[in-house]
Amino acid sequence: MVRPLLCIVVLASCGVSSKGEMGDPGAMGSQGPPGPPGPGQMVQEVLGSGQLVVTSATTAFTLIPGLTTIVNVPAGAVLNVHTDGGLQCTAVGNAFSVVDIAIYIDSLQTTAVRRVVAANTAGIAQMISNWSIGRTFQVTPGSHLVEVRAQYGAPGASDANVSSASAPQLQGVLTATMLMP
């Protein structure tokens, strides 16, 4: 019998209570020291400003018009470079164009290279193909020249129109992003 009585006493003491008035919040403390800077990034983007016609005579990598920029990389940052754009086979009929696209930093070719083929069919001429290349580079702090270049890629290939100033399906883009810790 003792147990049921004890439970009744405990339940009776748990009734609804009302809140009292809120007290004074007190004075605000002084501001603490600033925290370390958070991660950040700076982005530069340039667009193709013209067309490069790649022929069998384009045996060295040649700058694609407009796809060049100078970036200032802060200490501790890494450089992420991305480029995309299009090229078009200029021939008609069963023809093809082959173009190598490369990212250059400070006039030196990087390992970021793509071979792009635009191959016509009997029914469709002047085919368009696109490139997309992206890499992250560890570079020294300071100014760096970033470029996108193209060259003729294969014997027997037709000429190719690379990038454009106005045709969105061809116009190249170069984006350089400095990623800070």
- Within a 10 A sphere around the Cβ of 68, how many other Cβ atoms? 16
Would you say residue 124 lies in a domain? yes
In a domain, 45, yes or no: no
pLDDT, tens digit only, all 181 positions of the chain: 444 444 444 444 455 556 778 777 777 777 777 655 556 789 999 999 999 999 999 999 999 999 999 999 999 999 999 999 999 999 999 999 999 999 999 999 999 999 999 999 988 999 999 999 999 999 999 999 999 999 999 999 999 999 999 999 999 999 999 998 7
How many domains does one find in the chain? 1
Coil vs helix vs strand at 128:
strand
**Does 118 reside within a domain?**
yes
Residue 25 located in a structural domain: no
Q: What is the pLDDT of residue 1?
A: 44
173: which residues sit within 8 A by CB, 6+ positions away?
45, 46, 47, 48, 67, 83, 84, 85
Contact between 161 and 51 under an 8 Å Cβ cutoff? The reply is yes
CATH code, domain with 79: 2.60.120.40
In a domain, 15, yes or no: no
Both tokens assigned to 181: 């810790």
Q: Does 27 map to a domain? A: no
Q: Which domain holds residue 143?
A: 51-180
How far is it, in rounded angstroms, from Cα 16 to Cα 7? Answer: 17
* Whole-number Å distance between alpha carbons of 71 and 75: 13
Q: Is residue 83 situated within a structural domain?
A: yes
Q: Examine residue 120 and state whether it is found in any structural domain, yes or no.
A: yes
Give pTM, 2 decimals.
Answer: 0.78
